[in-house]
């Protein structure tokens, strides 16, 4: 076959869909419990929305965006992330209500032109939340706790919450100046990219995957020492609330975010089994972003979870026994039986019983094999004898036990908890 899925994209096949759907269902249930409602925004937006929010000097804007012109010459970009679109929608639809929070969650595909590797794709899915309208450190703690509860409920164990503060517009510039001085002094110890970052976006050096740079950065100044009193207090409050809630976390001086709009709290939730791409969840505050776009003063916080990474981690973490995907598999032998079988299948489905009908036209033996392959608990056989006396033969596919029952009772037998 000549066509393959484009580089950096991935099909989610039926065998994986149970875990995939669990990620989505759990998002609805956990985030719903905290009072979040779902939002859907377009997959593409004006390019300017992202360049302004994310920042001209970030990797995403410089190298990773899927940007194109439409037929009228409009500059559009496939969304690389969802915070900027949510903020755009919040302002555009005047969702600001004084003193109350705008709380939403989403899931959907994001697009970044990156070098594909395990846990890193060009089209990937994110599940995330945004809470817009409060600077309260307690909100940060609630949001981090919600992420942690979510990961727990999808079955992820052994995650670690990393926490830092990136300050605000009052104290961060002092820190980036100090960092710049350090990077200039030690420039021969850093890679080409980091030397450029020293001029354009110094904090990005902490995201460098180069080992030598990582070692060198252990001597770098840390932002904690440069935070203003308000940012320091805010950070202490967040960790205090997390302690109250019994949420384990570690302080991480080197945790910065790749996007410009972050302020104060930043966090990442890592899973050891994922190797180099070990962050399943990343988030933080963005207190100035709404205002920067001409909206009302609205401090905010959010996070995003990479669905493919979460799925990888859930899979390596626990091999759950697969549920049977069908209750009944109808095997009809002959034309008259076929009519009865189709009707029975339809009636069973109407009662919520998962039922498949065999269209192969094979012998009884062949169709039994199909029933087994389809992963059905029972086969429901309609042959000549069954037609005559209005019965069906139900066979337990695991034990091989069989029983003849009146066709009207098929539903009760197929939904029995124990065998037949």
Instruction: Among 308, 327, 358, 411, indicate the residue that binds ligand ATP (CB under 6 A).
Output: 308
For the bound state, the minimum distance from the C-beta of residue 56 to ligand ATP, rounded and expressed in Å, comes to 16
Both structure tokens of 350:
């109407």
For the bound state, the minimum distance from the C-beta of residue 20 to ligand ATP, rounded and expressed in Å, comes to 14
State the DSSP string of 90-143: HHHTT---TT--EEEEEEEEEE-----BTTB-SEEEEEEEEEES---HHHHHHH
Q: Does 358 bind ligand ATP (CB under 6 A)?
A: no
Is the Cβ of residue 283 or residue 328 nearer to ligand ATP in the bound state?
283
State the DSSP string of 172-226: HHHHHHHHHHHHHHTGGGS-HHHHHHHHH-GGGGGG---HHHHHHHTTS--GGGG
Beta-carbon contacts of 18 under 8 Å, excluding residues fewer than 6 positions away, are 322, 323
For the bound state, the minimum distance from the C-beta of residue 306 to ligand ATP, rounded and expressed in Å, comes to 2
Residue list 123-182, contact with ligand ATP (CB under 6 A): 124, 126
Is the Cβ of residue 178 or residue 279 nearer to ligand ATP in the bound state?
279
Q: How many helices (H) and strands (E) does the chain have?
A: 15, 16
Residue list 267-296, contact with ligand ATP (CB under 6 A): 277, 279-282
The helix/strand/coil state of 299 is coil
CA–CA distance, 135 with 3 (Å, rounded to integer): 50
Q: For residue 371, which phi and psi values (nearest 5 degrees)?
A: -60, -40
Q: Does 81 bind ligand ATP (CB under 6 A)?
A: yes
Q: Does 62 bind ligand ATP (CB under 6 A)?
A: no
Instruction: Among 249, 309, 377, 395, indicate the residue that binds ligand ATP (CB under 6 A).
Output: 309
Instruction: Among 26, 51, 77, 121, indicate the residue that binds ligand ATP (CB under 6 A).
Output: 121
For the bound state, the minimum distance from the C-beta of residue 132 to ligand ATP, rounded and expressed in Å, comes to 18
Instruction: Among 120, 324, 349, 403, indicate the residue that binds ligand ATP (CB under 6 A).
Output: 120
Applying CB under 6 A, which residues contact ligand ATP? Answer: 81, 112, 114, 119-121, 124, 126, 207, 258, 277, 279-282, 304, 306, 308-309
């Amino acid at each position: 076959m000549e066509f393959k899925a484009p580089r950096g994209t991935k099909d989610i096949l039926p065998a994986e869909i149970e875990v995939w759907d669990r990620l989505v269902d759990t998002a609805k249930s956990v985030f719903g419990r905290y009072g979040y409602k779902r939002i859907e925004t377009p997959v593409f937006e004006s390019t300017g929305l992202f360049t302004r929010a994310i920042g001209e000097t970030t990797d995403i804007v410089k190298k990773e965006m899927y940007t194109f012109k439409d037929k009228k010459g409009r500059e559009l970009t496939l969304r690389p992330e969802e915070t900027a679109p949510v903020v755009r929608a919040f302002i555009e639809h005047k969702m600001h209500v004084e003193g109350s929070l705008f709380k939403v969650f989403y899931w959907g595909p994001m697009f970044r032109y990156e070098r594909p590797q395990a846990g890193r794709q060009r089209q990937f899915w994110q599940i995330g939340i945004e809470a817009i309208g409060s600077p309260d450190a307690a909100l940060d703690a609630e949001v981090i706790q919600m992420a942690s509860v979510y990961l727990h409920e999808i079955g992820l164990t052994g995650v670690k919450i990393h926490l830092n503060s990136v300050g605000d517009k009052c104290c961060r510039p002092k820190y980036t100046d100090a960092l710049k001085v350090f990077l200039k002094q030690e420039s021969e110890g850093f890679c080409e990219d980091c030397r450029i970052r020293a001029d354009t976006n110094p904090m990005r050096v902490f995201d460098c995957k180069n080992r030598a740079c990582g070692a060198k950065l252990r001597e770098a100044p840390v932002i904690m020492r440069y935070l203003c009193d308000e940012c320091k207090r805010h950070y202490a409050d967040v960790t205090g609330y997390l302690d109250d809630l019994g949420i384990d976390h570690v302080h991480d001086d080197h945790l910065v975010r790749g996007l410009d709009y972050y302020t104060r709290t930043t966090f990442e939730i890592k899973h050891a089994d994922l190797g180099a791409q070990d962050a399943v969840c990343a988030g933080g505050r963005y207190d100035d972003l709404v205002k920067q776009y001409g909206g009302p003063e609205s401090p905010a916080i959010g996070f995003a979870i990479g669905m493919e990474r979460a799925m990888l981690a859930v899979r390596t973490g626990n091999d759950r026994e697969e549920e049977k995907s069908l209750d009944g598999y109808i095997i009809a032998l002959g034309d008259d039986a076929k009519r009865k079988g189709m009707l029975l299948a339809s009636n069973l489905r109407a009662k919520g019983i998962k039922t498949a009908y065999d269209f192969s036209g094979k012998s009884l033996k062949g169709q039994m094999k199909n029933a087994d392959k389809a992963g059905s608990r029972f086969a429901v056989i309609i042959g000549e004898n069954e037609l005559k006396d209005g019965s069906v033969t139900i066979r337990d596919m695991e034990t091989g036990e069989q029983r003849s029952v009146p066709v009207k009772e098929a539903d009760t037998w197929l939904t029995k908890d124990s065998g037949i």
